[in-house]
Chain A
Amino acid sequence: MYVEIRGLTFRYKNAAEDTIQDFTLDIRKGEIIGILGESGSGKTTILRLIAGLEIPSRGSVRIDGRTMVDGNTFLPPERRGIGMVFQDYALFPHMTVEANIKFGLHRMDGARRNERLEEVLRLVNLAEYKRRYPHELSGGQQQRVALARALAPEPSLLLLDEPFSNLDRDLQQRIRDELKVILKGAGITSIFVTHDRDDSRALADRVVILRGGRMVEIGDPAEVLR
């Protein structure tokens, strides 16, 4: 399998019981996984564990044969090559759209970097906005910049934390469809987190239901979300 997550277990300091218990999941290349669960069920925590922002107490994550974390190894987030779109985007306010996107491209040479910038800007339809600062953009535009920034370094896996939660209803649907086109078009393996069943149905190839830090169901959206 392309992504192999095995028995991931984790507890926040000062928490009484495990926040995530024994989370196991295999993902094929190019697949889009939706994680659905109520507030506090541990969705964000799972993404943070995969990204390397938290250290699990047990379990392992491998991507494309490379071990990210297990009993003996821990790769810090900057060496995992995993992209993440944060719930509130976390666009650097002191940088323009261009600088934000180029931020993750520091290992490329100048010409290639500009090329890639234009590519992802076209992908998210924001070519004219690269000189703007984040606060000069609408919510939906900010969301797309965050997506472009995460996609630019060509991550092996893309994590999206409630990608639509800060958008109003109409925009949500439009962006959701756009996102599907973009992700499928680029063939990016991704995991997104949501508490909205419609999101999962529209976007995911497979859906994981999370309750109290445990996976309680997994399968085709049409079946799981009857």
Chain B
Amino acid sequence: MRVLEIKRLYTSVNIWGVLSWVFVLLILLPNANILVNVFSEPNENWDHIKEYLLRQYISNTVLVTSLSGLFAAVIGTSLAWVVSVYDFPLRGFLKWGLVLPLAIPPYIAAYTYNGMLNYTGVLQTFLRNSLNIYIDQRYVDIMSLQGAVFIFTLFLYPYVYTITKAFLEKQSSSLIENARVLGRSPLEVFLFVILPVSRAAIVGGTTLVMLEVLNDYGVVKYFGITTFSTAIFQTWFGMGDVDSAIKLAAMLMLLVFAITMSERALRGRRRFSYTTTKARPISRIRLKGLGAVLASGYTFMIFSLGFLIPTLQLIHWALQTYRRVLGLKFLELTLNSLLMALGSAALIVCMAVVIANYSRISETVIARTNARVTIVGYSIPGAVIAIGVIVVFVALDNHLYWLYRLIDPDTPKLVLTTSLVMLMFAYTIRFIAIAVNSVESGFEKVGKKFFEASRTLGMNVTRTFFKVDLRMIQPALLSGFLLVFVDIMKELPLTLILRPFNFDTLATKSFQYAHDEMIHEAAISSLIIILVSFASIYFFHRVADKEER
């Protein structure tokens, strides 16, 4: 019945719907603005870029991204397999420890490794002074494309590892056992059973790795590799050509879409969601002798390279430099980081709650799409978001100039563009998907019955939300908040580019130090970021793991 359809729409278009729409459109606007520029009329400079530079941007970007993805997939999957199928010394610790490289943002890893491997670094100094060995610098030059791949692989493989491991643990015990009963060796089981069935999980994790690589700005900038991320800013700030910069951003965005599309295709029809019923855990094979040594050795080596060694090195540098680095200025940095992350995370979670609640209540397709659309932001590289946001804010400032003049006759033209609002807005675009996901899973756990019970007791949607729903999804809100908070603490590209003049955070300061050849001074702020990430990983992987049992 037409009338009823309209009524359904009417009952769902309340304040929740309106707000949800506003938020989603705000998120889409800057990105759509970039995307339409793929087809805009190119200028002269673009011809120059196309002729001489574009090929290198593309080949560097594609090489770094695909090689990092490939190696991360191999290491992540093999680790997941070893840890879920075998028992070996230190497994209990490493199972979780192998997630820890995720606590070290790649840009921190990049300058830490450079500091360790360069001429004055611990490795070469030791070889020179103790063993009198001089190394050809070419062999240890990490500031190269290979070096970037090494860093990305080592510090991003946990995306593949965690997703694949969770899948193997929950889904495949009967498969593995069956295959074993049929007389297949563990290696054959791995090749012919585990790999095919966990394809979706591996592809999903690898996609995340590649998206992270495309998002990166710190590593490639520090290593001096021209990828799209660095080229966009080079074109803009170096050549002063906004139009071409936007065009590059649009191309990068297309690359991201291509990757997410091919994820869909490669994943096949299987999703890597687990069945809700608790599956039997795999009964692991206890390794002895050489096998045990190999398994422990391999996993421990990755753990050392990806977490232990760089962290120890940073602690060492921190001890050398804390007298010089710590001070009022440092306190300010820390406060900036904390307040910015706390404030933005709170804002983002609130918006996520509105979007998720609207999608839950009004079960229309449109409302669901709203929630899904937020995912877009998470896959878009920081460089693209940054340029999109600046373009929108500059336009906004132009439109609002009369208003600023009304309030203060001597006002500068750019008000919003030079404020923290712009940075917060960018964070929102990039991270709201994480919060929406958490809140949605919270709602899913609680179900709709309490909501409905409250409605039949005479409470409307909004009062029900504050009296019932909000209380019930508290754990989900907290975990969403934590995830976003940590991600903002670590975030570099957006913060670096969009922060107001003279506004520094732990992340930007670390990067600045490293960039100015003061790697040791970067140690303390880096360690704080690592510590915060570490705590969150501990919370989500260790505590949550225990609770499940």
Residues of A participating in the B interface, judged by any CB pair closer than 8 Å: 13, 51-53, 55-58, 71-72, 74, 76-84, 86, 88, 90, 92-94, 103-104, 106-107, 149-150, 153
Contacts and interface: CB of A to CB of B under 8 A. Distances in A.
A86 B453 CA distance: 7
Contacts of B449: 86, 88, 90
Interface in B449-476: 449-450, 452-460, 463, 467-468, 471-472
A103 B3 contact: no
Interface string B427-467: 00000000000000000000001101111111110010001
Contacts, number: 75
Interface stretch (B4-12, B25-33, B173-181, B495-503): B4-12
Contacts of B459: 78, 103-104, 106
A88 B3 CA distance: 34
A71 B458 contact: no
A-side binding surface: helix, strand, loop or mixed? loop
B363 interface: yes
B468 A153 contact: no
B455 A77 contact: yes
B1 interface: yes
A55 B4 contact: yes
B3 A77 contact: no
B456 A71 contact: no
Contact of A74 (B7, B458, B467): B7
Contacts of A93: 472
A94 B471 contact: yes
A94 B469 CA distance: 11
B4 A104 contact: no
A72 B459 CA distance: 23
B452 A53 contact: yes
B450 A90 contact: yes
Given A90-B449, A90-B450, A92-B450, A57 B4 contact: yes
A114 B6 CA distance: 41
Contacts of B4: 55-57, 71, 74
Nearest to A102: B457
Nearest to A99: B467
Interface in B349-387: 363
Nearest to A73: B7
23 contacts: A51-B456, A52-B456, A53-B452, A55-B7, A56-B4, A71-B1, A71-B4, A72-B3, A77-B456, A78-B455, A78-B458, A80-B456, A83-B456, A83-B457, A86-B453, A88-B449, A90-B450, A92-B471, A103-B454, A103-B457, A103-B467, A104-B458, A104-B459
Given A90-B449, A107-B458, 15 more contacts: A72-B3, A77-B455, A78-B456, A78-B457, A79-B458, A83-B456, A86-B452, A88-B449, A90-B450, A94-B472, A104-B458, A104-B459, A106-B458, A106-B463, A150-B457
B8 A55 contact: yes
A11 B112 CA distance: 62
A90 B456 CA distance: 11
A131 B457 CA distance: 20
Q: Considering the complex of A and B, which 3 residue pairs feature the smallest CB-CB distances, nearest first?
A: A104-B457, A90-B453, A77-B455
B452 A77 contact: yes
Contacts of B468: 92
Contacts of A55: 4, 7-8
A97 B121 CA distance: 67
Contacts of B11: 74, 76
Contacts of B460: 76, 78
Contacts of B463: 106
Given A88-B449, A90-B450, A82 B1 contact: no
B3 A71 contact: yes
Interface in B149-198: none
B469 to A, nearest CB: 10
Contacts of B458: 78-79, 81, 104, 106-107, 153
Contacts of B3: 71-72
Report which residue of A58, A78, A88 has the largest number of chain B beta carbons within 10 angstroms of its beta carbon.
A78
A184 B334 CA distance: 68
A86 B452 CA distance: 9
Nearest to A155: B456
Nearest to B446: A93
A115 to B, nearest CB: 18
Nearest to B467: A103
A65 B474 CA distance: 42
Report which residue of B3, B8, B11, B453 has the largest number of chain A beta carbons within 10 angstroms of its beta carbon.
B453
